[in-house]
Amino acid sequence: MAHAGPVIVVGSGLAGLCTALAAAPRPVLLLSRGQHANGSASMLAQGGIAAAMDPDDTIEAHVADTLRAGAGYNDLHCVQLLAAAAPASIHWLQAQGAVFDQDGDTLQLGREGGHGVARIVHAGGDATGLRVTTALVAAVAAATHVEWRSDVEVDGLVLRGGRIAGVTVDSGGRSETLPGSDVVLATGGIGALFPSTTNPPGANGAGLALAFAAGAALRDLEFVQFHPTALDVGAGSLPLVTEALRGAGARLRDGIGRLVMANAHPLGDLAPRDIVARRVCQARRETGAVTLDARGLDIDWARAFPTVLAACLQHGIDPRSMPIPVTASAHFHMGGVHADDIGRTSIPGLHAVGEVACNGVHGANRLASNSLLECVVFGRRLGAHLGKQPAAWSHASNGGAAALELVMRGPGLDHEAMQLLRDTMGQAAGPIRTEQGLREASETLAPLAGRGWQARLAQELLACAYRRKQSLGAHWRADAALTPSSASIAVA
């Protein structure tokens, strides 16, 4: 079968890997910054993958929990696609070589915040992202339709007649143009634009900024999820302390030993993540520190939480005998490049999948362990769609004789300016926001906008947050009028 030219997939996290695999037999060029999937947020994901696998669970219940977490702002069609495809996605991952934790023949199912039942499939305890992504890296390496080029930075998009015609890459200081009729952005999130994050340092919004520079429609940028329990050991990329630990009974305490979530929400420590994150911020502000107390839990640390245990021990904290210091940190971007349910963006030939994309599935706040699931479900849908493209890559349908246009992301900010940007974003666009704070942050960043793409992207996010006057999901405006349901979780 002849095909419509190569697919270029930018990013080797789970979304990119699934898209590449599912596009077979169409040729795929997979471009990554590092070797294999190193540096992707997928590798760091701990909790697992949500799927209604238990006979007593239902797709409808998974849909309902996803909508509740997303404050009802979700795209219902995409949520239904996600939840309905979840069980088959687990089987597909197993077929690719992923091995999930089981009791005998039965998958072990964990519980996380916002879920009404135990629904989290995991691998190697809290090493799910690492295990699943590693299995897919091997599957992609064995796939003959995928050519993988690592150590390249995609820094521009090539268009002809308004349609994608390829990308430009920086490869060890050498610039190159790679032709392709379809480009998939699978470049992850924006946590590195904040002072602390559970994301890897490379999650700096570079793919989002590229789409923005090319004029692609963006959506819901103001919705950024903050994880309540990053290990409080400094700034930058911090180790995650998985929510599954609270699912196993760990409790949040403030600096004077009080339970942080007491009387705050019926689900207590397992309330939706945005609510817990705000309480953690408030408690830190009032009492100087927040800890997660996992002492005395009846768990096999080495089997169930090897990643958290290792990260804590590395910083001199033994979670079996000491409370774990935690802080709320940027974790997941619900907003992104506006995409439909098969990843198409407003620019013909440009696609987006995974965290960089926004098809509305997560609404205003993502439900725990729906992110790896999103990568698999929508990555496979996009890959299958691209793989079925007819052999109609004609000169006419690809811009005819129109001249090639090159859209570059442009230079980035220097270290000092990035520091200012992160601090500003942390102050103004963190878990608790105000109109004044957002306006002042935009003024602070204005002089940087001409100097680096990060500032332009951050300003766009601030503008979206400024325009949304009411609190919704992860976007909490402390200056907004309180609704009766939000009053009980208000923070100063």
Catalytic residue numbers read 273
Give how far the C-alpha of residue 242 lies from the chain's centroid of Cα atoms, to the nearest Å. 15
H-helix or E-strand containing 167? strand 163-171
The reply on whether position 368 binds ligand SIN by CB under 6 A is: yes
| Under rule CB under 6 A, residue 197 binds ligand SIN | no
Q: What angle do CA 267, 268, 273 make, to 5 degrees?
A: 80
* Token pair listed for 95: 């077929």
Q: Which stretch binds ligand SIN (CB under 6 A): 239-247, 388-396, 440-448, 480-488?
A: 239-247
Residue 124 interacts with ligand SIN (CB under 6 A)? no
Q: Judged by CB under 6 A, does residue 432 bind ligand SIN?
A: no
Considering the rule CB under 6 A, would residue 371 count as an interface residue with ligand SIN? yes
Is the distance from CB of 19 to CB of 9 less than 8 angstroms? yes
x/- string (CB under 6 A) for ligand SIN, residues 8-47? --------------------------------------xx
Rounded Cα distance between 10 and 226, Å, is: 25
Stretch that binds ligand SIN, among 174-182, 230-238, 242-250, 475-483 (CB under 6 A): 242-250
The nearer residue to ligand SIN, 110 or 387, going by C-beta atoms, is 110
Residue 387 near residue 342 (C-beta atoms within 8 A) = no
Per rule CB under 6 A, is residue 355 in the interface with ligand SIN?
no
Residue reference for tokens 């760990």: 250
Residue 242 binds ligand SIN (CB under 6 A): yes
The CB-of-158 to ligand SIN minimum distance in angstroms stands at: 34
Number of residues that bind ligand SIN (CB under 6 A): 9
Report which residue type is found at 336: G
Judge whether 66 and 57 are in contact, CB under 8 Å: no
Structure tokens at 443: 């003024």
- Mention every residue, 6+ apart, whose C-beta is less than 8 A from residue 193: 204, 205, 330, 421, 422, 425, 454, 457, 458, 461
Report how far residue 285's alpha carbon sits from residue 276's, in angstroms, rounded to the nearest whole number: 14
User: Residues with Cβ < 8 Å from 396, sequence gap 6 or more?
Assistant: none
Conformation bin of residue 125: beta by default, left when phi > 0, alpha when psi is -120 to 50: left
Judged by CB under 6 A, the stretch of 163-171, 237-245, 259-267, 460-468 that binds ligand SIN is 237-245
If one asks whether residue 365 binds ligand SIN (CB under 6 A), the answer comes out as: no
Residue 243 CB, nearest distance to ligand SIN (Å)? Answer: 3
Shortest separation between residue 372's beta carbon and ligand SIN, angstroms: 8
Using CB under 6 A, pick the residue from 65, 75, 182, 243 that binds ligand SIN: 243
Closer residue to ligand SIN (CB): 90 or 152: 90
Contacts with ligand SIN, residue ranges (CB under 6 A):
46-47, 240, 242-244, 368-369, 371
